[in-house]
Structure 1
Amino acid sequence: MSAKLPLLNERIYAPYKIEMLVETLDEQGISPAESLQGSGLEVGEIHNPDRLTSVRQYLSVCRNAVQLSKDPGTPFKVGLKMHLSAYGMYGYALMCSDTLRDFFNLGVKYHKLATPTLTIRWREDAESAIWVFPDAFITGPSRELKEFLIEQQFAQHVTHLKDVAGRETAATKACFAYPAPPHASIYEQYLGCPCYFDQPECELYYPAVILDQRPQLAHRLTSTLLQETCDRLIGETKISSGTAGEVYQLLMRTPGVFPTMEEAAKILSMTPRTLRRHLESEGTTFAQISDDVRCSLATEYLRTTKLSTDDIADLVGFSETSNFRRAFKRWTGKAPSDFR
């Protein structure tokens, strides 16, 4: 059992999704202890916002739900409870979006903060704004778990749009890239729109006309401030999770000394090719991580010390200050002196 527990650097999410799922199962007579079995979590921990959890732990509880619950509506019920107010700064940034188009954009940009089990994207055509779930077939799931995650994700999106735009905002149709399950008749009941199966992709459609509407709590300044916080939180997830997180921590370990990718791979007990493949699967590269680390260190030195630009350039691995100035302008759009 312990082999399935997450690495410490994967535990970066507050347990609100786990709490909602356990609460829903408890309403069906399934005890929290049963729901959490094999997750590495104790019952009291899921109510503590400071107790960080991982996607892997959430998936463990979802597997328990699939096995224990007799109610096919469970994932929909959980999704409909997932109001944006439960998502912290990410949720508030979405609620304060200037337009619903901004809401769609920010939802994708900051989705990493939402204990994600599926990738989300969106597109628009002449008639519709469309949430797209391109990797609905996650690695190695059972068919039941796959459908559970998708059903919950669709219900969450329906809830979020109503939180932002008002209760009258309804989807026009939902498409699913798998055959109709035995409980297909309840999909429309929970999602409030026609549902179609055996489609090319999992998609949720809204009228395109809503994109220029202003959310109920739209506030440009507040949204900007909250986006700055979300940008910082996204940066923290980068240095906390997966192989990318291990590389970030390695590069941060000795400021001024930056190992090459070959050296980093050796320290991490893998080949450079394997390291490159792992990072690509997480949507990044060694060069991008190196730039992010150098930028983070440089901006921190500029904010909090009186070190000269020459000294900072040396500390972040540049032998020539002119090269540092050019890189810093590329990273931030500002010269070091203007940033300071």
Structure 2
Amino acid sequence: MINPFASSTNPPNAPEEERVFDKGRPGTFAASLSHWDHPRTALGVRIMADHAVEHGYSREAVLASTGLSPEELDSSVTLVDARQEITATRNFLTLMKNRPGLGLEVGRKFHLTTYGQLGFALLSSPRTVDMTHTALRLLGLTFAFSTVTAEITPDGRYATRFSGDGVPEDVRQFLIERDLAATVTTHNELFAGDSTSVPLLSVRSQFAGVAGHPLFDVPVEFGAADTAIVFEREYLTQALPQACAETAQECISLCERILSERLDRRGAAAAVRARLLRLGGRDDGIVGAAQALHMTDRTLRRKLTAEGTSYRRIVDDVRAAVARELLEVDQLTATETAHRLGFGDLSSFLRAQRRWEQTVPGFRRD
């Protein structure tokens, strides 16, 4: 059964060559599974608002039409949804004239402490590879809008890639480059700002930009084929200076509980999605889901309709995400993936894939 927040189904105690390097073959070894449309603390919006204040604008101007007050940005218990942050981002970009490099500027202000308990989990990870798995497994506790994958490249480097599937086009560059800069900052702070300990080789952005925006002395290559950070491969097995496996595990357990509680508070759709992920994408029908959520199937349908979705749409979204992980990360065959997802036969799975290409944003068959 797939953990809903796991970056890979490989067990933590698997041999390193299987868990990290896939027996020496290039390819993806970890990937985020959670969708960007999740609740998050108000810190991401606050960082944008305060950046605007530094340039002569007001918090209120950034918060227009979000339903948030300036005071709520300073509360540790305030949760915002992704749509509110997107609205604030649009306001922010309008105020700041959406100038090149703005996402990189703001992303540098996201520190390890910005992520709360997750920051401590990353800081206390034994090695860089453990930190990477934890970060992608618990990406729903960050402010990321990117779909993130970690891989060994064909030329033997370690790369983290960022894509903006489903992110509105008018805010995509800012949010993806914000994630890019925040990730580089995280790596730097894991080593207390000692950039010599981080073998950063290149930083690429698929978007247009101008020179003069280096991230820790590494120039950003704009207009690249993808958005990615590339390190020396050996960096994956580098021990982190503040490693403590026991502390890391305690923090991870707490983070999982926090993330689960946030998803459950989102409403019926989030509860259905979280349950399907816990089941590894296996669907026992809306009646089974309703019983697990202590309501009738008629009530569940009504709640999902009120939230603008349907049970079938959620099932397709979750199954498509899990299928991608099984096929790309765990490198299962189509037949094995069909079985894991509960399809009766391979042809049913292939028909579902063709449907997902039309209905699930960002899904494609390779």
TM norm. shorter chain > 0.5: yes
- 1:104 and 1:191, CA in 2 relative to 1: closer, same or farther beyond 3 A? same
**TM-score normalised by L of structure 2:** 0.64
Q: Deviations over 1:231-278 (max 9, x none)?
A: 212322332337632537998987795756x874366349xx942223
Q: Classify the secondary structure of the residue corresponding to 1:172.
A: strand
| Distance in 2 (alpha carbons) for counterparts of 1:111 and 1:95 | 15
Identify if the C-alpha distance between structure 1 residues 76 and 283 changes in structure 2 by more than 3 Å, giving closer, same or farther: farther
Structure 1 segment 61-100 matched on structure 2, within 5 A: 61-70=88-97, 72-100=100-128
Deviation of 1:78 (Å): 1.7
Q: After superposition, what is the alpha-carbon deviation per residue over 1:179-202, rounded to whole angstroms, capped at 9, x for unaligned?
A: x33xx2133x24532433443322
Shift in CA distance, 257/26, structure 1 to aligned 2, threshold 3 Å: closer
RMSD of equivalent CA atoms = 3.1
Contact 2:104 2:178 (8 Å CA) reproduced: yes
> In the alignment, does 2:225 pair up with 1:200?
yes
Which one of 234, 252, 259 corresponds to residue 227 of structure 1?
252
The structure in which a higher percent of residues are helix is 1
Secondary structure at the residue paired with 2:116? helix
2:203 maps to 1:174? yes
2:337 is matched with: none
Q: 1:133 aligns with which of 158, 162, 167?
A: 162
Contact between 2:147 and 2:165, CA under 8 Å: does it hold in 1? no
Q: Which has the higher contact order (CA 8 A, sep 6+)?
A: 2
| 1:268 and 2:304 correspond | yes
Residues 1:104 and 2:132 are matched in the alignment: yes
Q: What is the match of residue 84 of structure 2? A: 57
In structure 1, the partner of 2:45 is 18
Q: Give unpaired runs (5+ residues) of structure 2.
A: 1-36, 276-285, 322-366
Deviation at 1:283, TM superposition (A): 5.8
1:40 corresponds to 2:67: yes
The structure-2 alpha-carbon separation of the partners of 1:69 and 1:263, relative to structure 1 and needing over 3 Å to count, comes to closer
Secondary structure of residue in 1 paired with 2:169: coil
Q: What amino acid is the match of 1:171?
A: L
Kindly provide the amino acid, as one letter, of the partner of residue 66 in structure 1: L
- Deviates further, 31-40 or 118-127: 118-127
TM-score normalised to the size of structure 1? Answer: 0.69
Show the counterpart of 1:314: none
| Alpha-carbon distance in 2 for matches of 1:257, 1:33 | 41
Q: Is the 8 A contact 1:121 1:131 kept in 2?
A: yes
Moved more, 92-101 or 229-238: 229-238
Aligned CA distance change for structure 1 residues 266 and 60 (closer, same or farther; 3 Å)? closer
Which residue identity is paired with 1:118?
S
Cα drift, residue 282 of structure 1:
4.8
Provide the C-alpha distance between the structure 2 equivalents of 1:109 and 1:12, rounded to a whole number of angstroms: 16
For residues 205-245 of structure 1, what are the alpha-carbon distances to aligned partners after superposition, in whole Å with 9 as ceiling and x for unaligned?
A: 11111111111211010001111112212322332337632
Q: Aligned partners of 2:319, 2:139: CA distance in 1, in Å?
A: 14
Q: Aligned partners of 2:56 and 2:319: how far apart in 1?
A: 41
Matches of 2:271 and 2:143, distance apart in 1: 19
Q: In 2, distance between residues paired with 1:75 and 1:257?
A: 43
CA distance in 1, matches of 2:100, 2:293: 55
**Could you tell which deviates more after superposition, 198-207 or 92-101?**
198-207
Structure 1: any 5+ residue segments left out of the alignment? 1-9, 286-340
Q: Is residue 160–residue 229 contact of structure 2 (8 Å, CA) maintained in 1?
A: yes
Residue 145 of structure 2: aligned partner: 117
Query: Contact 1:36 / 1:64 at 8 angstroms: preserved in 2?
Result: yes
Tell me, in whole angstroms, the C-alpha distance in 1 between the residues paired with 2:86 and 2:293. Answer: 39
Distance 1:246 1:231, change over 3 A: closer
Range with bigger deviation, 52-61 or 219-228: 52-61
Match of 1:278 in 2: 314
- Identify which range, 113-122 or 67-76, moves more after superposition: 67-76
